[in-house]
Structure 1
Amino acid sequence: MTKKHTYRTLVLLLLVLATLFLGACKPSGEPRFRDVEQLKPENRITHMEMIRQYGALRVVTEYNSISYFLYRGQPLGFQYEMLQKLANHMNLPLEVSVSNDLERNFSDLREGSVDMIAMNLTVTSRRKQDVAFTEPFLQTRQVLVQRKPAEWDKMNQKQREAALIRNQLDLAGKVEYVQAGSVYEARLRTLSNEIGGGIDIREVNLESERLIQRVALGEIDYMVCDENVGLVNTTYFPQLDVGTAISFPQHVAWAVHPRSDSLLKVIDQWITSYRKTDNYAILYHKYFNNRHSYRNIHSEYYTLGSGKISPFDAVIRKESERIGWDWRLLASVVYQESRFNPDAVSWAGAFGLMQLMPITAKSYGITVDSSPEEQIRAGASFIKWLDERFEDVIVDPDERIKFILASYNIGLGHIQDARRLAERYESDPNIWSGSVDKWLLKKSEPEYYSDQVVRHGFARGIETYNFVKDIMDRYEHYKNIVNNDVIARW
């Protein structure tokens, strides 16, 4: 059983066995819970303890131009940056999955597949029946998104206002689109009842930014979203108006399972403290008030809109297919090595997009004057050569990737030394995390780099350890956001 499956089982054991008396109040067919306080003290384990045993905080978030996205190959976003700071505070790695399907996310939370839903969730009494909300980190209100009249920029303010819906009574007879599973549908139904009916509400499986774009392009006339999201999007679509509110101000928060008291306490304490900091104010301004940054992310290197990671995607895809790699993994390597700068030169003399050392570059026929295409091809060929060194001994392709990356960074000899140390001291020489990576780190200590099985002496393993981790972490972000239409052959 994998670590992930074991962890999920533990979460379910806590959450499904956690409050028997609540089960009697629920309709048949829904999960029954047993009060954790009724378990024997020696068997009690909190959600936070299970998270630490698993070794990562698992969150699901949404991908859009505010919460989580890629820009020039780098993961960014209001939610993402807040989550990184929370994970650092908890001293835990962050394991991010993405889904814009709200109903699925709430289901995954109930089932224990994720620890937290990290989205701009509006706090409502209905939702409180199913989840526990954190301390709010934002306030917003729901607004109508509509197009300004034709030639609006030639009208005065009074003329523009006369052409727009400002009175909620005028929504009767109009078709309103909302994201399925969102709070907007419930609010519109309430509003429709309040004005005597007539609002035609259409739920669709598109998140708010996609619906905003449809309004801007004239494909639909009206939709509803949070005001802060709408305001940000008017920077990119100035023909849109978001000045008509359809709700009072509402709190926005994250959600955890209602029995995750220990996790909720940690998050609430952190949010309460973090909201008061200058760092939070800067982060909020960066994503909600900075119109210049929003225009930038809607460039060709804003991945959600363009599908692009870098200017070199075409050759990265081509070379990845040649060596049997997922192109997003190779893109992560290129970003790590050069930030997609073909003119990059390191202090040690490594150069180009793939940062090959001169002696390695020479063996593949490239120089500092070689084209980006030639640089990437040479780096991919070197990766393929390293793959061939390991394929007979490390059969698991996912595991082998880490050894290839480590060897690419520090050299094959040092990695073989670390494998021999692992074997000598009864660790698995074919497992990277927690085994060979540990022995590579020890190669900076005289006791180990002087060991009889070591042939290549001292190595500063921490840089390679971080190199592998950073590339694999970024690869997960790329997989979250960018489709893979090049099939990897392992």
Structure 2
Amino acid sequence: MPPRQRGIGRWLIPLIGVGALFAAPLGWWIQTWTPADRPARLAAIDVAESFKRNPQLEQVRDRGVLRVATLIEPTLYIPDSYRPQGLEYDLTGRFAERLGVDVEYVVVPTIEAAYEAVADNRVDLAAAGLAIDPARMQRFRFGPPYLTVSRKLIHATDQPSPTGLDDIDGASIALPTGSASRFWLERVIAQDNTIRLDVVEEQDKLAILEGIRHGDIDYALALSHIALLAHKLSDEVAIGPIVGPPVALAWVFSRHADESLLRVARRFFAEARSDRQLKMLVDRHYAQFERLDESLSRRFLQDLDTHARPYLPTFRRAGKRYEIDWRLLASVGYQESKWQPDAVSHQGAYGLMQIVLPTARDLGLTNPANPTANIMAGAKYIAQLRDLVPEQATEPDRTYLALAAYNVGIGHLRDALELTSRQGGDPTQWADVRERLPQLSDPAIYREMRYGYAHGNETVNYVENIRAFHDLMIWVATRKDLLADRQPPQPLPGMAMKTGSP
């Protein structure tokens, strides 16, 4: 088999792509994370006694802060100066809002550390993509499951693709330290003596992926959403089969505490399911990556480092002027032109933001070939379209709907909003409108609509790509900020700080 290429194109994507997915401020952890120095049994007694005197819910409300242990990972929690990101961030923020308190995010280095923070009462709960784990139920209570995923084998693309665990007998298999998959795998091996595996635990997921890339690790167990992201961002990581039963993710509470806070969490998730809030949040953080083409995501990360730099200051200015996240504007520019200022479409759209001449005239854009002017005009247009979206729509759905109008036109978007209402959907939610946009190419539908035929599928892909690019930019920027110039680690937004609800 020919040796792997080692040029810049082979290591750049894993460095800024997969690295942006999983790397975290290890130096900060080492400086700030200190284990409890009291014996665990005495600590547990103290914790239990404190909740007898004052129930956990009352303690949280008296403190005015919900303390949450979490991990820095895509889809979980990404600290960001503009707006932190992640499903756990959104969920815990809404839960804290229900309690009438702020949130303090305590970032921990490992899954095991998240559990210990709960056990030692340094936090009120752990929200870190943790799987419901029977092996830990004597010490912890799990909240209601909010997401069901699967375990998948991942491996280097030059490794043979297995059919299951029994197909990799004798190989090494890696998994994150302290994960529920470790205990599940131990039970499987104990019950089936034909499966012989060298189980390797690694501190973080980045080390696992690097081990796969360099051939140090044969296979790894990863939850399906993490496996998908890793494959999207590195052509050296392949996804193998599902192994084992489905895995339910849930928040973790101390078994030494009373159940007052847990009871509120149960009601919170029951209501979030009934009003589709939970479905919308899961969609917001996962759906765009399911649609994103692998080659496009990898090319984006390469171009971000090579083509975007001259235009980033302008995107920042435009974002500040029109109150739009500048990284979202940059993502629009990439989707439109791949950051090529001289791009011209077959429909007559010009420049980096691909503005057609009639719209350029309305915006006062006299020189579409000027990248600065083109970017500013594109941002202005998105802001105008955002004002035309129904005022009941809130962010980020308001901006997603404006992006759809940027692509398909405000008339066709209004048709899609009307169609959504007719069919019982919510026209203020992008997820509902996204389901109806493709119907605008169906003769049985578009002939009844005011503005007629539209390439609705293309518009859906357009918006979803921008959403994915936006998240990728946030993760890459987060990694670079954490490691920039080897400066001493600094507290990150949301770390050991009170924050308002998202």
Q: Report the TM-score when normalising by structure 1.
A: 0.51
Select the residue among 252, 255, 269 that pairs with 1:255: 252
User: Against the structure 1 CA distance between its residues 285 and 217, is the aligned structure 2 distance closer, same or farther, given a 3 Å change threshold?
Assistant: farther
Gaps of 5+ in 1: 1-11, 17-25, 151-162, 316-337, 348-476
| Corresponding residue number in structure 2 for 1:321 | none
Poorly superposed stretches of 4+, deviation over 4 Å: 26-30, 33-39, 70-73, 216-219, 292-302, 342-347, 477-481, 483-489
The code of the aligned residue for 1:482 comes to L
**Percent of aligned pairs with the same residue?**
16
Alignment of 1:33-432 (within 5 A): 44-70=53-79, 73-149=82-158, 163-196=160-193, 197-206=195-204, 208-216=205-213, 218-258=215-255, 259-291=257-289, 340-341=316-317, 344-345=320-321
Alpha-carbon distance between aligned partners in 1 of 2:309 and 2:81, rounded to the nearest angstrom: 9
User: Against the structure 1 CA distance between its residues 488 and 120, is the aligned structure 2 distance closer, same or farther, given a 3 Å change threshold?
Assistant: closer
Tell me how many residue pairs correspond in the alignment.
294
> Contact conserved, 1:98 with 1:480, CA < 8 A, in 2?
no
The code of the aligned residue for 2:226 comes to V
Alpha-carbon distance between aligned partners in 2 of 1:488 and 1:192, rounded to the nearest angstrom: 41
The DSSP-based 3-state class of the residue aligned with 1:341 is: helix
Greater relative contact order (Cα < 8 A, sep 6+):
2
Alpha-carbon distance between aligned partners in 2 of 1:266 and 1:78, rounded to the nearest angstrom: 19
The DSSP-based 3-state class of the residue aligned with 2:185 is: helix
> Contact conserved, 1:176 with 1:222, CA < 8 A, in 2?
yes
Alpha-carbon distance between aligned partners in 1 of 2:279 and 2:51, rounded to the nearest angstrom: 44
Encode CA deviations 1:19-76: one digit per residue, 9 max, x unaligned.
xxxxxxx99767336976996xxxx421111111111111011111221125684311
TM-aligned CA deviation for residue 147 of structure 1 = 2.6
Alpha-carbon distance between aligned partners in 1 of 2:104 and 2:478, rounded to the nearest angstrom: 13
The DSSP-based 3-state class of the residue aligned with 2:163 is: coil
> Contact conserved, 2:114 with 2:128, CA < 8 A, in 1?
no
Gaps of 5+ in 2: 1-35, 324-476, 491-502
Alpha-carbon distance between aligned partners in 1 of 2:50 and 2:67, rounded to the nearest angstrom: 25
User: Against the structure 1 CA distance between its residues 217 and 135, is the aligned structure 2 distance closer, same or farther, given a 3 Å change threshold?
Assistant: same
Encode CA deviations 1:150-184: one digit per residue, 9 max, x unaligned.
8xxxxxxxxxxxx3110321222000111111112
TM-aligned CA deviation for residue 227 of structure 1 = 1.7
> Contact conserved, 1:176 with 1:199, CA < 8 A, in 2?
yes
Deviates more, 1:184-193 or 1:116-125: 184-193
Return the index of the structure with the highest Cα Rg: 1
Alpha-carbon distance between aligned partners in 2 of 1:301 and 1:268, rounded to the nearest angstrom: 40
User: Against the structure 1 CA distance between its residues 346 and 270, is the aligned structure 2 distance closer, same or farther, given a 3 Å change threshold?
Assistant: closer
| Corresponding residue number in structure 1 for 2:457 | none
Alpha-carbon distance between aligned partners in 2 of 1:224 and 1:38, rounded to the nearest angstrom: 38
TM-aligned CA deviation for residue 191 of structure 1 = 2.3
Alpha-carbon distance between aligned partners in 2 of 1:294 and 1:89, rounded to the nearest angstrom: 38
Alpha-carbon distance between aligned partners in 1 of 2:134 and 2:480, rounded to the nearest angstrom: 31
Alpha-carbon distance between aligned partners in 2 of 1:195 and 1:479, rounded to the nearest angstrom: 41
Alpha-carbon distance between aligned partners in 1 of 2:176 and 2:78, rounded to the nearest angstrom: 19
Alpha-carbon distance between aligned partners in 2 of 1:143 and 1:255, rounded to the nearest angstrom: 23
The DSSP-based 3-state class of the residue aligned with 2:74 is: coil
User: Against the structure 1 CA distance between its residues 268 and 216, is the aligned structure 2 distance closer, same or farther, given a 3 Å change threshold?
Assistant: farther
| Corresponding residue number in structure 1 for 2:455 | none
Deviates more, 1:480-489 or 1:74-83: 480-489
Encode CA deviations 1:432-487: one digit per residue, 9 max, x unaligned.
xxxxxxxxxxxxxxxxxxxxxxxxxxxxxxxxxxxxxxxxxxxxx98998257446
TM-aligned CA deviation for residue 123 of structure 1 = 0.8
> Contact conserved, 1:55 with 1:92, CA < 8 A, in 2?
yes
The DSSP-based 3-state class of the residue aligned with 1:74 is: coil
> Contact conserved, 1:188 with 1:199, CA < 8 A, in 2?
no
Alpha-carbon distance between aligned partners in 2 of 1:73 and 1:38, rounded to the nearest angstrom: 37
| Corresponding residue number in structure 1 for 2:440 | none
Alpha-carbon distance between aligned partners in 1 of 2:489 and 2:202, rounded to the nearest angstrom: 33
> Contact conserved, 1:109 with 1:115, CA < 8 A, in 2?
yes
The DSSP-based 3-state class of the residue aligned with 2:155 is: strand
TM-aligned CA deviation for residue 124 of structure 1 = 1.9
Alpha-carbon distance between aligned partners in 1 of 2:60 and 2:152, rounded to the nearest angstrom: 38
The DSSP-based 3-state class of the residue aligned with 1:85 is: helix
The DSSP-based 3-state class of the residue aligned with 2:270 is: helix
Q: Report the TM-score when normalising by structure 2.
A: 0.50
The DSSP-based 3-state class of the residue aligned with 1:58 is: strand
Alpha-carbon distance between aligned partners in 1 of 2:119 and 2:211, rounded to the nearest angstrom: 33
TM-aligned CA deviation for residue 244 of structure 1 = 1.8
Alpha-carbon distance between aligned partners in 2 of 1:195 and 1:482, rounded to the nearest angstrom: 44
Alpha-carbon distance between aligned partners in 2 of 1:64 and 1:294, rounded to the nearest angstrom: 21
TM-aligned CA deviation for residue 210 of structure 1 = 4.5
> Contact conserved, 1:216 with 1:237, CA < 8 A, in 2?
no
The DSSP-based 3-state class of the residue aligned with 2:84 is: strand
Alpha-carbon distance between aligned partners in 2 of 1:186 and 1:143, rounded to the nearest angstrom: 16
> Contact conserved, 1:147 with 1:221, CA < 8 A, in 2?
yes
Alpha-carbon distance between aligned partners in 1 of 2:299 and 2:228, rounded to the nearest angstrom: 19
